[in-house]
Chains A and B, each alone.
Chain A
Amino acid sequence: MSDPRRSQPPCTEELHPSWRELVRSRMPELHLPPEREAEVVEELAQWLADASSHLEFHRQEEVDAFLQQQIPTWNDIESSLSRDRRPPRPIPGLENRSSSFTAGVFSDLRQAARMLAQRPGFTAIAVLAIGLGIGIASSVFSLVDYVLFRPLPVEQPRELVNIYASSPGGFLSEEPMAYPDFVDLQKMSRTLQEITASAMAMVAVEQGDEARIEIGTLATGNFFETFGIKAAAGRLLMPEDDQMGNPAAVAVLGHRAWKEMFDASPEAIGATLRVNGHALTIIGALPEKFTGLWPAVEPTLWLPMSLQPVLGASGTTNFGSPSESPLESRGSRWLWVVGRRASEASLAQTQDELTRLAANLSEAYTETNGDRRFVALPTREVRLIPGIDAGLKTASAVVMALVGLILLIVCANVGNMLLARALSRRREMATRLSLGAGRGRILRQLLVEGSLLALLGAAVGVSAAVFSNILLNRVELPIPIPLSLDLAIDWRVLLFTAGLAGFTAVVSSLAPAAETLRTNLITSLRDGGRISGNRSQRWQSGLVLAQVCLSVVLLVCAGLSARSLLNAQNIDLGFEPHGVVTASLAPGLQGYDEEESLAFYQRLQDDLSARPEVARVAYASHLPLSFWVNTAQVAPERDRHLPEEERNEVDMASAGAGYFEAMGIEILRGRSFETRDRDSSVEVAVVNETLARSFWPTGDAVGRRLVFGERSLEVVGVAQNGKYRTLGEKPRPFLYLALDQDEVESLLFLTVRFQNPELASPEVLRQTIRHHAPHLAESSLGTLEEAISPAMILPLLSGRLFGLLGALGLFLAAIGLYGVLAYAVARRTHEIGVRRAMGAQRHHVLSLVMRQGLGLTAVGVLLGAALAAALTRMLQSILYGISATDPWTFAAVVGVLFLVAALACCLPARRALRIDPLAALRHE
């Protein structure tokens, strides 16, 4: 070795590198972090340079001797640096087993993060897929949660029970209650400390020059006290406000109304509103969290029950005879009753007491309460009405099941990606195992990787759900009642999402984990990570099967729903809504007496009829598909002797002259109503085909008579069948009475058909109504298509939802299936090379690969179709005009999946075939 200083430039203080190299070459491994080690080398080298500055070395031995003198031993330096020493590099999977579990998980997390960061493409796709699945699931869950599960924001909800009246043969098994029954319950119950009743009612609200029909709720004075609701401003209704016969003229504003009408100003308290023509003082406003007892419907006004006779408002729900005074009749069932159990009373005790009280009442009032029972159900188990909840729950279950399917497909996709990676990491895993890492330890590592992916996905998913909820909250449904959705990502949704993420993590890690656990050390190390075993193929085949199977189920559901929507839109309604504008008018609510009302109706009809753009103007008591149902007990003349309850119950409406023409309902035989069908003339009726056929199976119905109560009506016409309550209903009998021969209805629907359907405009009606009655509130002013849209909501919404889920499912299923199959084929590149090298023809190899891939798909499709056929029966109740096992839908789904599968097999196989056989052989 030469003198290290020789080559050192004399005029610089820079240390010549030779001393460093010398130190480095003599220094033993110090196990220091690299930067610390460099520091030590630098210091020692500097010293040596300084200490030798006055020396001259001529021979290597002299340098060695100098070094020996300066550093006789490295031991001391080594030991003095013990604190700086880095821990020995761990062999992954071989860490000290006694190290704490959490530390292990953290190190796994770090390693997993590094692993994911190294493959950004893989990570991005996996996270997006999981995010999409979890996002949809969270969003749909928050909707279901809102509709089904979110508890009422009231005090001690567990103590609350809903109390229903129930009669055999009723429209619903649980119906609202009559006011006198409610009062008796209130007086006599011992197990209920408070009982309160409420009913929604449409009221005309005037503010300034404007009058609108709004949703109000009539509530008993103890309503808010029972629920423990506190006012956001002013005070709420109290028992003193609700004295029968002496009601206080007061109203409480719903929170939204308070904000919209008064900007949430405290000055609203004490202001006056005209409701149904009566001046009411606003005494308070509700807090934001309480929007009423029904999800998504927020009443504008809360009014004392005792104001009912003054306002003339009757409940929107009324089972029984609406003509009697609702506060006095036991036949008029319209109140929704909620009680708070006394703390010592059990639900069973309450039910026993109610049964006893109902028996007492039915003895006392045989005529009305003969077979009436009372039913108590815990309030938190009811959302709308028990009878309707069941349908709601079914629909929710179906949607959640579909969402679950999508998530499972996502899991299969991600699982497959992880499996592919686990297979390519076989050698790494085998090495770690052979170095002594426990399988549990490696399992944990895989699970942590899966969890990290799922966690990232969940973050993406929750963001997507927040976004989609904002969109959903803004959706305006085409229905007359303003629905206010208030979807939020609350702790329940987050908990659900966390559960989903955990599920995704575990399920998508299953395949790779099982694969790793069964790793055979020797073959894995020997094969060097190339995969040829049957086992891994079994896993992949399993994933393909699962994927195809789930995709079939999902796509069949989506396909059925989409076709059901198309059917619903093309369903024959029995009338022609296009080109008709309607409005509901209730002049009686605003103080018109009967004579004034009739005069107003006549003026309006005359004026509108005179307009050139109007073809026909008519009135009716009910419109089809508007959820207003009126029924009557009728019988053909020959069964006149039958008591009322044994006659047929049929839906009915009163219609004025020109109604059938305005609605576009075809009269098949006889005539429609005319202006001559007045009070004085013979009482007439029009029946629909179904009623005609059931009453007079042989011969013509025209000219026959039927009995309705004491009245005998002559059938003058037979109208075509239509849809009256729901789109999905079977043909039902329907009776039309002549409007002019019936009592004056408090609310009438005006129907106006325009000459040119494209020019049908609500504005013409609005102006004309304004002209004749400037302060009259008209509601549901709009096209008939809008008015009947509530009936379209279920098919419309389910169609859109399923369409969306279906499109997403198809996308995920297609890329998933493609990914799984294409990967499986790509992995056979080596095998394809062998076959080619052995002289196999291209088309032979191709057909072999295709046969195997499509065979697998066929098995999956069969399994999926069987599963789908079993599951879609659940959908039948919400499908229109299509069977749950519609062969065309199944065929289309199968076709699409086979197409995807064929592409997925063909493209990678062709790529493999293009490769030179020798290169393919080298392919690992």
Chain B
Amino acid sequence: MTNTTTKPPTHRTDRERKKGTADLLVLTLLAEQDRHGYELAKVIEQRSDGLLIFHVASLYTLLYRLEGRGLIRGRWVEKPGTRRRRFYSLTSEGRVSVERQRRDWRQFVLAVDRILEPEPA
């Protein structure tokens, strides 16, 4: 990341914040139901009250990487009255992975919380 200095600082913060958690977010949402890319971005934006916003390049980079790792699978679905879209769903590997990541994340948050909370005197 040597050339990130040319990029706006907010962008960089966004990137880093999202980096560790984006996989978990997408996998968790797909564990609920199959979704297409734009829907995923919208849900993330809504649930985070606009705090987490993906643009197309970052989301699809993520999706293609997860698909490449075999955690999710995309397939084209045509529903009456809507255009043909590529819906993503979890593979069985993805299901295992999301469980593990959730557990790790909770432990991590717990650990961080413990440090942030002032120790009772």
Contact = CB atoms under 8 A, between A and B. Distances in A.
A72 B55 contact: yes
Contacts of B61: 76-77, 79-80
B38 A80 contact: no
Interface string B50-68: 0000011111111111001
Interface in B35-60: 36-38, 41, 55-60
A4 to B, nearest CB: 15
B83 interface: yes
Interface string A4-44: 00000000011100000000000000000000000110111
B38 A81 contact: no
Contact of A77 (B41, B64, B76, B82): B64
A43 B60 contact: yes
B73 interface: no
A79 to B, nearest CB: 8
Nearest to B58: A76
B37 A47 contact: yes
A71 B83 contact: no
Contacts of B83: 13-15, 46
A51 B38 contact: yes
Contact of A47 (B56, B76, B81, B82): B56
Contact of B60 (A44, A51, A82): A44
Nearest to A82: B68
A70 B60 contact: no
B68 A84 contact: yes
Contacts of A481: none
Contact of A44 (B11, B41, B56): B56
A13 to B, nearest CB: 4
B53 to A, nearest CB: 10
B86 interface: yes
A914 interface: no
A83 interface: yes
* Most central of A48, A50, A69, A84 by chain B CB within 10 Å: A50
A80 B85 contact: no
A171 interface: no
Contacts of A51: 38, 56
A13 B64 contact: no
Nearest to A83: B68
A39 B36 CA distance: 13
Contacts of A46: 36-38, 83, 85
B37 A43 contact: yes
A522 to B, nearest CB: 47
Contacts of B38: 46-47, 50-51
A534 B56 CA distance: 65
A74 interface: yes
A81 B81 CA distance: 31
A100 interface: no
A72 B57 CA distance: 7
A431 B81 CA distance: 54
B56 A48 contact: yes
Nearest to A47: B56
Contacts of B63: 80
**Interface range on chain B (Cβ under 8 Å from partner):** 20 to 34
Contacts of B81: 13
A5 to B, nearest CB: 14
A42 B11 CA distance: 27
A51 B41 CA distance: 10
Contact of A71 (B56, B76, B85): B56
Contacts of A74: 57
Contacts of A15: 83
Contact of B65 (A13, A40, A69, A80): A80
A66 to B, nearest CB: 10
A873 B83 CA distance: 86
A68 to B, nearest CB: 10
Given A13-B83, A43-B37, A70 B64 contact: no
Interface in B81-106: 81-83, 85-86
Nearest to B68: A83
B68 A43 contact: no
A80 B23 CA distance: 13
A660 B39 CA distance: 115
A70 B37 CA distance: 13
B37 A80 contact: no
Contact of A43 (B11, B62, B65, B86): B86
Contacts of A42: 86
A412 B86 CA distance: 59
A685 to B, nearest CB: 106
Nearest to B39: A50
Nearest to A15: B83
A81 B64 contact: yes
B7 to A, nearest CB: 8
B89 to A, nearest CB: 15
A14 B55 CA distance: 22
B60 A39 contact: no
A785 to B, nearest CB: 83
Interface in A72-93: 72-74, 76-77, 79-84
A13 B77 CA distance: 14
A50 B60 CA distance: 14
Nearest to A79: B61
B57 A73 contact: yes
Nearest to B7: A72
B86 A13 contact: no
A40 B37 CA distance: 12
Contacts of A70: 55-57
Contacts of B11: 72
Contact of B55 (A69, A79, A80, A84): A69
Given A14-B83, A50-B38, 13 more contacts: A13-B81, A13-B82, A43-B37, A43-B60, A46-B36, A46-B85, A72-B55, A73-B57, A76-B58, A76-B61, A77-B57, A77-B64, A84-B64
Shortest 8 CB-CB contacts between residues of A and residues of B:
A80-B64, A76-B61, A83-B68, A13-B83, A80-B65, A71-B57, A50-B38, A70-B56
8 contacts: A13-B82, A14-B83, A39-B86, A47-B38, A47-B59, A51-B56, A71-B57, A72-B55
Interface of B: 11, 36-38, 41, 55-65, 68, 76, 81-83, 85-86
